Amino acid sequence: LMTLPTIIIAARAALRAVPPSIREAALGVGATPIQTVFHHIAPLALPGMLTGAIVGMARALGETAPLLMIGMVAFIVDIPSSVVEPATALPVQIFLWADSPERAFLEKTSAAIIVLIVFLI
C-alpha cells in the first residue's frame, strides 16, 4: 500500500513520456483508442512502468527489513537458548529481561538496548 504512490507516479510519467505523435499516428491510420493504448502506447511505456514497480517493491522491502529483523514473534515468555529457537520481538525481550530480578539479566538488558539503539540510528 505504501508503494502504490511510487508505482502510480512512475506509471504516469512513463505514459506521458510516449510521444503524442505515436498516438496521433495510430489514430490517423484507423486504430481505435483501445487499440492505440494496447498496441502502441502500453508497449512503449511498459519499461518505465516496470521500473517504477521494481523501485516501489525495493523501497517496500527496504522499509520492512528492519521490522523483520527486530520484530519476530509477538510474545514468547521463555528465553531462547539457541539461534534456531523462536524468539520474541527485541523490545519485548528487553522488557522481560529488565523485569527479571536476577543480576545476570542486567548485562543482557543493557546490551540489547545498545543493539536496538544502534540498529535504529
pLDDT digits (tens, 9 = 90+) for 47-60: 999 999 999 888 88
Are 43 and 88 found together in one domain? Answer: no
Are 55 and 90 found together in one domain? Answer: no
Helix (H, G, I), strand (E, B) or coil at 88: strand
Are 85 and 47 found together in one domain? Answer: no
Are 58 and 75 found together in one domain? Answer: no
What pLDDT, on the 0 to 100 scale, is given for residue 60?
Answer: 83
Are 80 and 57 found together in one domain? Answer: no
d(CA 44, CA 105): 61
d(CA 120, CA 39): 48
| pTM, two decimal places | 0.54
pLDDT tens-place string over residues 83-110: 677 666 667 767 777 777 777 777 777 8
Average pLDDT, the chain: 82
DSSP class per residue in 34-84: HHHIIIIIHHHHHHHHHHHHHHHHHHHHHHHHHHHHH--BS---SPPSSTT
Domain end (from 48, 64, 80): 64
Are 83 and 54 found together in one domain? Answer: no
Residue 21 belongs to domain spanning: 4-64
Are 80 and 58 found together in one domain? Answer: no
Are 75 and 120 found together in one domain? Answer: yes
Domain end (from 47, 64, 81): 64
Question: Per the structure, how many domains does the chain have?
Answer: 2
Are 16 and 58 found together in one domain? Answer: yes
Domain end (from 49, 64, 79): 64
